[in-house]
Amino acid sequence: MASEKVSKGEKYPPPKRFQVADIQVAREATAVKPEVVAKMLNKAKNPVLVTGKFLLREPELVDIAVKFYEKGIPIIATGGSSKPLIEKGVKPLSVVYTLHQITQYMLDPDWKGFNGTAYDTVVYLGFTPYYLSRMLSAMKHFSKITTISIDEFYHPHARFSFTNLTKDKELHYEMLRKVVEGLEERK
């Protein structure tokens, strides 16, 4: 995995915490390239995509989420992100539960998810950074589930995160598209 980390000199900007004061001691997210995200999702037994607020603002994110869904990765929609997804034919696993509730459920090893099997890998897309950060922190400390943030801000609490793409929106979308391209169709 180490060779697939984002390193200096690449076209991706360095990982910089979404909030400089969010200082961690133990473990910071590994900044990963899109190809790695796709590989991890392909290897995962039961991955899920969780979507948030920014799908209400950025149609590009909705399109990406739809493609995840079409490749067989189910979606838990929060924050009202269900509406644009449903309009594009997605049937989310849930629409009403908040990310706060979903995280609480995921922290419980007894939870079997919405489809009867516990999730082993969770990808987050389209969240308010400070809100997602707290949820990722809870997951980091109290769960063994692999968390991946593919938002434009680098998230130190995730297990894996995109680097900061805040300067270049197009680069972010390009990376998201690369993840989708790398996804194998799930049965």
Query: What is the x/- site pattern for another protein, positions 4-43, by CB under 8 A?
Result: ------------xxxxxxxxxxxx----------------
Q: According to the binding rule CB under 8 A, does residue 170 interact with another protein? A: no
Q: Kindly state whether residue 59 participates in binding another protein, applying the rule CB under 8 A.
A: no
Measured in Å, how far apart are the chain's first and last C-alpha atoms? 26
Tokens 């992100």 belong to which residue? 81
Which residues 6+ apart lie within 8 Å of 180 measured at CB?
38, 64, 67, 68, 71
Residue placing its CB nearer to another protein in the complex, 43 or 57: 57
- Is residue 86 close enough to count as binding another protein by CB under 8 A? yes
Least separation in angstroms between residue 101's CB and another protein is 6
Residue 66 C-alpha from the chain's centroid: 14
Pick one of 4, 58, 60, 105: the residue that binds another protein (CB under 8 A).
105
Q: Tell which residue, 65, 83, 144, 74, has the closest CA to residue 116.
A: 74
Residues 109 to 128 in contact with another protein, rule: CB under 8 A: 110-112, 127-128
Helix (H, G, I), strand (E, B) or coil at 10: coil
Residue 147: phi, psi to the nearest 5? -115, 135
Interface residues with another protein (CB under 8 A) are 16-27, 52-53, 56, 77-80, 82-87, 92, 94-101, 103-105, 107-108, 110-112, 127-131, 134-135, 137-138, 140-142, 153, 166-167
